[in-house]
Each structure stands twice: as structure tokens, then as C-alpha cells.
Amino acid sequence: MFKNINEIKTLKEKKFFVEKINLHYKILLAFSQKNNLKFDVQSIKNIDLNTIKRIIQLNVITNKEDLTKLNKVLKTEDFNNFISSVNFSLINKKEIGNILDNLDPIKRNKKQNLKKNEEKPKLVDFFCGAGGLSLGFIQEGFHIDLANDYEDVCIQTYRYNHPEVPENRIILGDIRNVVNDIDELVTSDIDGVVGGPPCQGFSSANQQRMIDDPRNELYKYFIKAVEKITPKFVIMENVRGMLPYAEQVAEDYNNIVSIKNKKKYTYSIAYKVLVSDDFGVAQKRHRLIFIALRNDIVGKNNITPKEIFEQIEVSNSKNKRHILKDALDYIKPLEAPRVKNMTEVDDEVTGKKIDFNLFKGTENSYLNSINNKRKIDFVFNHKARFTNDVNLEIYKRLDQGNDGTNSKIADIMPYKHRNHVFKDKYYKLVANKPSRTITAHLKMDCHSHIHPFQTRSITPREAARIQSFPDDYVFLGAYLKTYMQIGNAVPPMMARGVARIIKNYIL
């Protein structure tokens, strides 16, 4: 998980390295506070040999001499914090248990080499993002053979949260390069290919096939990947706005002819707009889902993609519906920071990147579902966003369901001359309904997602809960980048609902 200090070449690599070093320290600091254990941070002069061995085990350094370089890269405060946290982890090893496993190369390696991984249906996830789609399938017993995204921060988040997948199977890079090398990267039979390729060429002025727009080249490479890998099924998701061009996508899948082991394979496909709250997610998020089945699977199991959708609908009818309040309950209340540039600074009042959970994480049916019935000891990314005086006043005046056109804020609304363009620039969420869609635009501002009870916008953790990520799913990277990762993700509970039906026909 750590890039060895000697391998760091770029400023970006250094930033991720320092972030993970601080993650190690802050997890243990929160653990010590939760359990009333002594955690002393002091100037480190003579570092214990066992501590050095442990730092080498973590792949942070190669030898004792590298400590000087580590001190230089981290600077004194972070260096002392990290060394102290390693000391603490050795002294309290039994009490700590598995809370550091995702940062431990030895523990990660054990998870990656489990025999049962080979017995699970295998998945390739393109445009994997932070891993929401993968997580849903993993929860239903799938194993990720390969994941790919072009955003480095997404890859860092994915690698941390999916220790069962070898780091070299989570690839940062352009899908065009990955697909060109796919024969070398994918050497075993793959059960499914999933992903959400960006499709942008939706111009009504273009009378040609919209899907052939040059801006949709990445989608074409997704199709090319399917042709090369020849999986048993494909799940492709996209925005609802793609629906008018869905038949063009279906045509592309119907035209796929793959040759594998001297056999010819073709596909059948169906598509449908699915809504996340039907899956029990505390959010009304519409996504256009395509399901393609290899025709030998269709014949063998007497099932069609259309019938898969019908079974998903039947399964969803049994789900408990959830509302926004279910996602926002049982988490520490926060106040918005009133000083700029404090989003990366931990604070008891405005929140922390890592804090111990004041609750269990299973207090209501929604939290119980997203946390998979596990007690969660820590809460990550629960940090409120800076709010200036004008926005704070707007937040106070609006009632739930009010937007930027409301008369209560007419005298201070800074964008009222553009209300006809984006009246939802400001919107206070409604607690007793499923949340409006969590989007990547939250990285720009969060005025569209004002907390229904507290005078602030929602935190990244609250957005992640609304998206159905578990409380211990850590989003790495700069504060605003966490909103982007969360907003772009497929809700894991939604992915799980699809995976639950699909797996019945590919084993």
C-alpha cells in the first residue's frame, strides 16, 4: 500500500505517501482515544530496532539508513507522529486487532492469496472510480480480477479499500492502452465486465449515430474490451440522459462477434432506467443500466437480459425503503468552519478525516445494510465545509425543500439574476424523503445539498452514506476530491442488487 520512500519520484506520489503515513497515525490516535489508551507523541531520537523492522515491513523504507530520508520527506511533526504510531501499534498489537490491515502488506498479501478467491466468479471493472460498483459485486461473492481508472486519486482510494485485489491489478491509465494490452493483462476466463464509460456526444444537431461521436471514443474501447475478454455478462451504467441513444448502444452489443477457444460468441442485451431507492438506497438516483448476456448463457439457462431486469424488479419489491434521515442519523453533529482553508485540519467542532464512532454503525436498518451488519468503530471523511456569512444566513433561512427562488432569501440571494438557469443552486434537503442525487458537482460547492437540520452543507461522509458506502470506506485525496469520487460512484447497494440476480446464472 505504501510506495517505498526510495521509489517516490513526483510531487503527487509524495502527497499520497504522506497522506497514508498520516492515515496510519490518525487511525491509531482515534483508537487510543476511543479506548482510553496512552498515546504519547514526542521527539524521536533513538528509534527502537523493532520499530525500524516494522516500518520496513510496511514497505515505507528499505533499511535503517532510509530514516533520514523519511524524516526529510515527512518533516519533523509528521515523522514523530508516524514513529510514535508505529511504537503504539507494537505495544498494543493485541488490542488493535485488524484496524491497520488495509495498510499492512503482509495482511493484504494473505487476503490476495486466499484459495477461495479462485473459486469466485471473476470481474473486470473499467472506469472503476472509487469502487462502488466493485464493492456491490464483492459483497455478493465476486472477485475483482482487474480494475482500471484514469484518475489517480480514485486508484488510491480503490487500492486502500480493496486489499483483496493485488495492487498491480488495479491499474491507473487510459482504457485505450489497457485494452490494447488486454491479452497480457487478462489471462484467465472472466465472468463479467462492468463499468460506466463516459458518453458525451449527445448533440441533437448531429443526425448521425450519436454514439459514434468522437467524444465517445472511450465507450468504443469499452465495447472493444468486451469483444476481447468475451465475458459471460456485461453491466454498463450511464446517466439517464443517454436513454434516447440506448438503441444505438444495443446495436453495438448485438454486433459483437468474439472468437474464443475457436468458438464464436455473440450477445443479447436489454436496458432499463433503474432508481437507487428501489434498491433500499436513501437516495433517488436514476441510472441507465445495460445488461448483456453471452448467448450461450442465454441458451444454457433459458434466461434473457430482459428477464434479468424483471427479476431485479421483483427482488426490489421486497426491499425496505429508506429516507435521507436514515443516512444522517447516528453520526456526530458538526458546525461549518468559519475560517477558509481549514478543510484539511481536524477539529472537534467541524469534524475530522478520521474519528472514532460515537455509535455502533448499525443503529437503524439502513446503517445496518450499508455496513453489512458490522459494528464500525471509526468514521472517516466526516468534516464540514467552510461557509461564508452570506451562505450561512441562506442556510439558516431556508426550510426543507426550499430552493434559491424562495422569497425568504430574495434580499441576499447572490445568484437571483440567474434563477431561471439554476434555481437549485441552493436547496435544503428533505429529511423524510430519499435524498436528491449526490453528484460530482459537490466538489464545486455544496449549496445544492444543505443539511436538513444543521446549518451547513453535507459532509463527504454523509454523501457517502447517502450513496450507501459503509462508514469505514475511506476516500483518499484532497477534501474536494472526495466529493468528486463519491458523486461519480455507483451506489454499492444498487450494484449489489444487480449482482444478486446475475450470479444465479453465471456459475
Give catalytic residues, as residue numbers: 199
Burial 367-402 (b: 16+ CB within 10 A, else e): bebbbeeeebbbbbbbbbbbbeeebeebbebbebeb
Grid coordinates representing 283 are 437516495
Grid coordinates representing 110 are 494473505
Instruction: Report the SS3 class of residue 325.
Output: helix
Q: What is the spatial distance between Cα 142 and Cα 225, in angstroms, rounded to a whole number?
A: 19
What contacts 24+ positions apart, CB below 8 Å, involve 99-104?
A: 99/27, 99/28, 99/31, 99/377, 99/378, 100/24, 100/27, 100/28, 101/163, 102/1, 102/160, 102/161, 102/163, 102/474, 103/1, 103/2, 103/20, 103/23, 103/24, 103/58, 103/160, 104/1, 104/57, 104/58
From the number of C-beta atoms within 10 Å of its C-beta (0-12, 13-18, 19+), residue 328 rates as buried
How far CA 257 is from CA of 4, 185, 226, 254, 267, in Å, comes to 44, 21, 10, 8, 8
Give me the DSSP letters along 414-442.
TTGGGTTT-GGGSBBPPTTSPBPPP-GGG
Say which residues have a Cβ less than 8 Å from residue 115's Cβ, sequence separation at least 6. Answer: none
Give the per-residue SS3 of 12-69: HHHHHHHHHHHHHHHHHHHHHHHCCCCCCCCCCCCCCHHHHHHHHHCCCCCCCCHHHH
DSSP structure class, residue 319: S
